[in-house]
Amino acid sequence: MSKILLEALEVSFLQCKNISMKKLNLDNLYSREDVHSIFSPGGSFTPGAGYWGIQGVISIPSRENDFIFFVTYGSSQAEHEFDEGITANGVLTWQSQPSKKLKDKSIQALINHNEINDNIYLFLRENKEKDYQYLGLLKYLSHDNQREKPVYFQWQLLDWNLDSLKEEEPKDKTSENLGELTLTDEKPSSKNRGTSEIVFKTGKFPDYAGQDIKNKKLGDLGEELVLKYEKKILESANHRDLAEKVTHISLVEGDGAGYDIKSFNADGSIKYIEVKTTKGNINTDFYMSPREIKFSQTHKDNFYLYRVFNITKKNNGAFYIYSGDITEEFKMTPTGYKLSKK
């Protein structure tokens, strides 16, 4: 074999090795071919043509409901100009292809996207002359349920800098500065129904569920508000003796009891209250530990979920109550498993 041929084979091998070693890192720049080599190694790629070369939404091979979004600011297609952008809160406004309708199978797959089980990877560039910047994974927030061709979506960037989402915490967390809770008969909706055009255009959708689980101060505030509410209700019903027995269990014992507050009904029966708090709206997802879920099942006659939402800077909010086995009312999605050898 000639020396020239050996050198050519060595260069070709190194090129293939470099492509296969390409890694996905947040904020790095990638060409379409780079992205193809990461998610579909070994397949053919033709620049400016074919599935990977021109499509805006790519279904990742052998990974059902996993997608790649290629977004170019200011692009147009079929005389339609795309108006897409990202807010300071990391919310992406995005449009489907101009031919897509709300009932299309591909659109329904996006509307029902579950970021816990499935991934959407966002690659964005300012113009066609540049490579794409990888901005991380997306979570479905809402869609415009009135307009189609194209269909309008809003997505939360899960890897967005959360510092930009933080509101200033009140300096004093004493009971004198607690706001009030308002009990509502409203219940969360069970489907991704979308919003009207006007709500879609003006809505703000930070990833509250992701923030809530990391925000202990917010959780403590919600519990303090519920504690205040429970005592007030019992006192107003002339049960001061019971009000004095209401106990902030998670403060006294820690978070291992399976509930946060021990309170009472007017007849003296015990209420085990688990409090879940969010700055988001009534439909914001929330997390529960296996211990909390099990406790709701074994004490379903005395278990109460107080879902506190729309917390304001003045520490006011609203809440609804669900009593009984939590699994009978809410859909549970596993977010992790502990494995041991069989």
Burial state string for 39-70 with b = 16 or more CB within 10 A and e = fewer than 16: bbeeeebeeeeeebeeebbbebeeeeebbbbb
| CB neighbours of residue 21 within 10 Å | 8
Tell me the three state secondary structure of residue 90: coil
Beta strands in 50-198 (DSSP E): 57-59, 67-72, 76-77, 80-81, 85-86, 91-95, 120-125, 132-143, 152-157, 181-183
Spatial neighbors of 115 by CB under 8 A, at least 6 apart, are 137, 138, 139, 140, 158
What number of CA atoms fall less than 13 Å from residue 116's CA on the CB side?
11
- Encoded tokens for 179: 């706001």
Check residue 169 and give its pLDDT: 45
**pLDDT of the chain along its 342 residues, tens only?**
455 544 544 544 444 444 445 789 999 999 999 999 999 888 889 988 888 999 999 999 888 889 999 999 876 555 556 667 888 778 899 999 899 999 999 999 999 998 888 899 999 998 888 999 999 999 999 999 999 999 999 999 988 865 434 444 444 444 457 899 999 988 887 666 666 555 555 555 556 666 766 688 999 999 999 999 999 999 999 999 999 999 999 988 878 889 999 999 999 999 999 999 998 889 888 999 999 999 999 999 999 999 999 999 899 999 999 999 999 999 888 877 878 788
Nearest to 287 by CA among 272, 302, 275: 275
Nearest to 310 by CA among 298, 301, 318: 318
Helix axes 32-39, 3-20, angle to 10 degrees: 80
Check residue 285 and give its pLDDT: 86
Check residue 111 and give its pLDDT: 94
What number of CA atoms fall less than 13 Å from residue 39's CA on the CB side?
22
Check residue 19 and give its pLDDT: 42
Phi-psi region of 315 (alpha: psi -120 to 50; beta: other; left: phi over 0): left
Domain spans of the chain, in order of start:
51-159, 175-186+194-328
Nearest to 150 by CA among 217, 84, 232: 84
Tell me the three state secondary structure of residue 18: helix
Output the DSSP codes for 185-211. -----SS---B-HHHHHH-----HHHH
- Encoded tokens for 130: 């540049």
Check residue 12 and give its pLDDT: 47
Domain 51-159, CATH homologous superfamily name and number? SRA-YDG (2.30.280.10)
pTM: 0.63
